[in-house]
Structures are given as C-alpha cells and as structure tokens.
C-alpha cells in the first residue's frame, strides 16, 4: 500500500478569544478606585506553511482535525490574558488549498481557491483566531466611568479545507505503463523509485534532481497514463494534476512493446489527447504557460533491444516533422542519456527565463479594481451600510426580522446576556448603528421578533421601541445611565480625592477659625462675662444642679449632717 497522499480534507479551527475581566481596583482609603479589568487574549491561528522538508500529505489523513490554542481570560489590575499559540502546519511546496464544499456527512469537493503555496516559506492563515473581549477598564470613558461588565471573546474561525498537492518540477515524464519512466529517472538522478516488469508499478509521483553542468533541474515521474485517463480510467486522473506545474513535457515511448495496435506515433497521439482534454478543465495561475503551449521532447526508450532501436530510427523522422527534438536512449545501457540530460538542461534554462518574463508582463497588465470606499456612517436608502434587515416569514404565517452584518453579529457574540448592563450596552451600540431606526422604517411593531446572528450563534428577542438607546426615557430625561457610580459622580465627599491646593486652603481656614475662637473667648473673659464657677448666681435656672444662688459649701455641710442623722437612726 502506498504512503503517498496528494489530496486530503482537513478540518481547521482557530483558537477562541479569552473573555474580558470586569474587575474593580480596591485600595486603602478608596472605597472605589475605578475599573481595572484586563482584556482577554487573542486565540491562535491555524497557518499552513510551504516546507521543503515535507513531501506528502499523509499526516493530515490520519489527523484531519487541527485546532490552535485558545486565548486566556483577562485578570484584575489591568492584566491582559495571554494569546493562544499559533498552530503551524507544514505542507509540501506546490500545495494548493481549496474551500471544501459538500453536505454534512458526504465527501467534500474542491470549491473556491484559497491559496497556492508555490515557494518555500509561503504561508496561508486557514483559520484565524478569535479576538479577545475588552475588559471594563478598556470600556470606561468620561461618560461611563464604572462599567460593571466586560465583553466576551470571539470564537475562532472554523471550516473545512482541501489540500491538494501538485508536484513542482521542471520536466514531467509521461507515457504508457511500463514505458521505462521510473528506470529513466533512476538512471539520471539519485531517486530510487520502484521498478518492476508489470504495468502500474509506479503508484506515486517520484521526483528526481538532475545536474547537467551548472544547471540543476528536477524530473517528475508521473504514473502511467492510458486512453481515458482524463475521464478517470486507470491512475491518470488522480496524478494528472502533477504535470500542471511542469515547464516541459517529455514523452517516454516504449519502442519494444508487444501489445497489438500500439506504435510510437499512436502512443504519442493518444497521450496528447488526454493531456488536451485535461488542460481544458484547468485554471492556470497568473503567468503560467498553458499545457498545449509547453515544449515537448520525444524520448524513444529501450534502444538496447535491436528491434526497438530499429523502430526508433524509423519513426524519428516522423516526430521531427512535428518540430520536436527526438532522442533515442536506453535506460539499461545508458545509451543517449548524456545528450538527453544536457538537452533538457538547456531547454529548462530557456523556459525559466521565458516564464519569468511572462509573469512580469502579466503583473504589469493586471488591472486592480477597488470598490469605492463609503464614508464612515454612510447611509444607503435609510439603512447603515454595515448591516441589512430582511423580513422573513414561514408557512404558518409567523414572521420575523433578520439582521445581518459583520458588526451586529460580532457584537451579539461579545455580549454576556446574563448581565443586564452588558445587554443595555449592546442596545446602545445597535441604536447608534441605526438598527432601531431601520426596523421602524420597515414596519416593525412593538413585540415583533428580531433575530441577529447565524446558526447556533443566533439571538432572538422581542423588539420594544419604547426603549431608546437601551435606557428608558421619561419626558425626554434619562432615568438612569449604565456604567455610572454615584460615588464617582459626587463633586464633594470623602470619596473625592482632594488636590494639594485644596488641602492647604482647608488647613489655613481651620487654623484661622481656631484663632478667631480663642480671641473671642479672651475678650469675653476680659469683659467679665465669665462668673465664678463655684457660684450659681442664676436663680432663674430651674435646671441648675447646685440650686438657685446658694453657696456650694453650705449645701455640702447640710448634706453631710443629713447623712450622719440617718446613720445614727
């Protein structure tokens, strides 16, 4: 069983963003020092990277589900959560990434082309990580000084992609089964493909590096083709994609075949027919040379057999009439391999220069069309350009309004619906965006059902137009405002921190007041307003403890005599 895999379906998921924190800073002598919740960390992304050390997609067949790390939650003291680590997935150079199409549970087929990794180091972000939620410290401003909520992290992107490997080589060896392609690549390079005397020995493409003077090029050994390969017969359809990236097509023709109705010319025309039908379905990248326009070279193999060499000499002029170079070789005796090697090197050098000039010309002729940028907050027929609202109805007569748009859907995901203040903040954002105005314009009535989001992330609620900007209004005056704390709003009080100038001014005022009181008391004493405290000279004071104008000593003697009499009795 072959361990070469050139097409797999991979399920990738970016890491989820961490939630924001709704913390409050607490310090000595400060009942409320302000919000200090940190932001959540961003989730990691799944990134495919073209790696020269990778040669197959086998790992992704056994492990088709790949996920990046999640971001962590924000903490107090304005500490942001850590970001999730990106997941780097190496793929062979020449890997093409498609969007996977198909129903759930059914085989996927390639859809939109997402990336073409043709050079070492090229990257493609297949699934981006979710953004972290903002903490209440980031949500605070001059009008919302004490947010009691934070935003949730966004989930990472999740989807299926198809990885398809298209070998990148300079020369592609095509031919019928057992034509000697594997023997040729083994004789010209250090590659060790499987060689046997039965058809379809080669089940996987083989790449070999060949050196000719100062020129180095690669040869791809494509599994044997047969008539009908472009329609799925044999192994051709599975491996024809490996000749898409080659610059030169070399027909390896078996001149010693014993099969009836086969000769070098008929083999050539049969293979060219399959290549032409396959080329009609290709969408080549920018600057690529179409398959019918790529140079051909004819390699007549097995010249070590006398009958085969005689046949090769006979058909050589016929191929030369088609304006194609012809080489008679033998992989067994290595006859003609040196001439073939240098001829291919020269042709590869010319094609590389031609391909580079084509790419430059295509880049210069390319016209970039950019959409017109609308100003921020632009309106289109009464609705914001950032969202759309559609009235939907089912077969039972039930209807609802579906709100679609990047911003509303992202805001719904970020909202913690267990927190009333967070829900009100969402209402504020939707109102400022113009969602409520557009619902009213489309005829929405109080109590109508409104849906925001898609799939499992969809949120449904009953629309109440009496709520303006998320907070109830009465006679045009706002009853309350989210994100405010009365202790922070007071201009005076113990919670307000005094400035140094205010402290000095209050200290001097207190000292001046004390000095004024002392001066007034001294003036009263000098004027004789102060009486002897041992005398009670106010006879009109009914609450006096010492009596009305009586001597304290006389009262004390009388009290002592009364006490003695009581003891004697």
pLDDT of 412: 87
Q: What is the mean pLDDT of each run of 10 residues along the chain (569 residues)?
A: 68 94 80 83 94 83 92 90 94 88 82 87 93 90 83 92 81 80 79 52 64 82 58 50 76 80 82 74 60 84 85 87 88 86 87 75 61 45 65 82 87 86 85 85 84 82 60 40 51 62 89 89 75 56 53 64 68
Among 465, 488, 519, the domain-final residue is 465
Among 135, 165, 195, the domain-final residue is 165
Copy the structure tokens of residue 403. 């709100």
pLDDT of 2: 45
pLDDT of 18: 93
User: Do the domain assignments include residue 514?
Assistant: no
Binding residues for Mg(2+): 182, 202
d(CA 499, CA 124): 56
What CATH number does the domain containing 436 carry? 3.30.300.350
Quick one: 93 and 175 in the same domain?
A: no
User: Do the domain assignments include residue 102?
Assistant: yes
pLDDT of 83: 93
pLDDT of 469: 41
pLDDT of 86: 94
Quick one: 327 and 199 in the same domain?
A: yes
Quick one: 215 and 145 in the same domain?
A: no
pLDDT of 463: 78
Quick one: 107 and 212 in the same domain?
A: no
Host domain of residue 187:
169-353
d(CA 285, CA 174): 22
Structurally, the chain folds into a number of domains equal to: 3
d(CA 497, CA 491): 10
Among 427, 444, 465, the domain-final residue is 465
User: Do the domain assignments include residue 481?
Assistant: no
Quick one: 145 and 179 in the same domain?
A: no
User: Do the domain assignments include residue 373?
Assistant: no
- Closest by Cα among 182, 164, 296 to 239: 164
Binding residues: 175-182, 200-204, 221-224, 301-304, 330-332
Asked whether the beta carbons of 410 and 423 are under 8 A apart, the reply is no
Quick one: 173 and 287 in the same domain?
A: yes
d(CA 16, CA 413): 12
For CA atoms 441, 446, 449, 453, give the dihedral sign. Answer: positive
User: Do the domain assignments include residue 376?
Assistant: no
Binding residues for GTP: 175-182, 200-204, 221-224, 301-304, 330-332
Quick one: 188 and 337 in the same domain?
A: yes
User: Do the domain assignments include residue 493?
Assistant: no
Q: Which helix (H) or strand (E) holds 337?
A: helix 337-365
Quick one: 161 and 180 in the same domain?
A: no
Quick one: 282 and 349 in the same domain?
A: yes
What CATH number does the domain containing 58 carry? 2.70.210.12
pLDDT of 471: 41
Quick one: 119 and 76 in the same domain?
A: yes
Quick one: 173 and 160 in the same domain?
A: no
CA distances from 551 to 377, 537, 555, 561 (A): 92, 9, 6, 16
Q: What is the pTM of this model?
A: 0.65
């Amino acid at each position: 069983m072959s361990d070469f895999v050139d097409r797999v379906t991979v399920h990738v998921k970016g890491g989820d963003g961490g939630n924001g924190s709704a913390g409050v800073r607490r310090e000595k002598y400060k009942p409320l020092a302000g919000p200090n919740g940190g932001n959540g960390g961003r989730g990691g992304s799944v990134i495919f990277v073209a790696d020269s050390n990778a040669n197959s997609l086998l790992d992704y067949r056994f492990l088709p589900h790949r996920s990046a790390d999640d971001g962590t939650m924000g903490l107090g003291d304005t500490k942001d959560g850590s970001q999730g680590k990106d997941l780097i997935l190496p793929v062979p150079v020449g890997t093409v990434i498609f969007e996977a199409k198909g129903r759930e549970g059914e085989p996927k087929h390639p859809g939109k082309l997402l990336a073409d990794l043709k050079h070492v180091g090229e990257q493609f972000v297949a699934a981006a990580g979710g953004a972290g939620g903002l903490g209440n410290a980031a949500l605070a401003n001059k009008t919302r000084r004490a947010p009691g909520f934070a935003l949730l992290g966004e989930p990472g992107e999740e989807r299926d992609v198809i990885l398809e490997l298209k070998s990148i080589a300079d020369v592609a060896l095509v031919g019928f089964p057992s034509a000697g392609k594997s023997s040729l690549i083994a004789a010209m390079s250090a590659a060790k493909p499987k060689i046997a005397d039965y058809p379809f020995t080669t089940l996987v493409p083989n790449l070999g590096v060949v050196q000719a003077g100062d020129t180095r090029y690669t040869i791809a050994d494509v599994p044997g083709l047969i008539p009908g390969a472009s329609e799925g017969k044999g192994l051709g359809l599975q491996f024809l994609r490996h000749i898409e990236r080659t610059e030169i097509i070399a027909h390896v023709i078996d001149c010693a075949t014993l099969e009836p109705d086969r000769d070098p010319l008929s083999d050539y025309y049969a293979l060219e027919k399959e290549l032409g039908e396959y080329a009609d379905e290709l969408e080549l990248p920018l600057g690529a040379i179409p398959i019918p326009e790529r140079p051909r070279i004819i390699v007549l193999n097995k010249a070590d057999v006398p009958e085969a060499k005689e046949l090769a000499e006979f058909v050589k002029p016929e191929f030369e009439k088609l304006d194609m170079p012809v080489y008679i070789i033998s992989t067994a005796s290595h006859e003609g391999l040196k001439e073939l090697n240098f001829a291919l090197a020269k042709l590869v050098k010319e094609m590389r220069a031609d391909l580079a000039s084509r790419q430059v010309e295509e880049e210069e002729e390319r016209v970039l069309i950019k959409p017109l940028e609308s100003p921020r907050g632009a309106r289109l027929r009464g609705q914001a350009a950032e969202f759309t609202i559609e009235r939907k109805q089912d077969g039972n007569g039930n209807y609802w309004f579906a709100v679609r748009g990047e911003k509303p859907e992202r805001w719904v995901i970020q909202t913690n619906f267990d927190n009333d203040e967070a829900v009100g903040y969402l209402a504020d954002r939707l109102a400022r965006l113009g969602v409520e105005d557009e619902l009213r314009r489309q005829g929405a009535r109080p109590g109508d059902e409104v849906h925001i989001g898609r799939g499992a992330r969809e949120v449904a609620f009953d629309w109440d137009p009496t709520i303006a900007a998320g907070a109830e209004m009465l006679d045009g005056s706002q009853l309350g405002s989210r994100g405010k704390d009365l202790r922070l709003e007071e201009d005076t009080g113990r919670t307000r921190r005094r400035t140094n100038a205010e402290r000095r001014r209050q200290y001097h005022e207190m000292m001046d007041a004390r000095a004024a009181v002392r001066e007034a008391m001294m003036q009263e004493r000098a004027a004789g307003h102060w009486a002897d405290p041992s005398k009670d000279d106010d006879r009109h004071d009914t609450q006096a403890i010492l009596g009305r104008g009586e001597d304290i000593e006389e009262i004390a003697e009388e009290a002592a005599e009364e006490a003695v009499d009581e003891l004697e009795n």
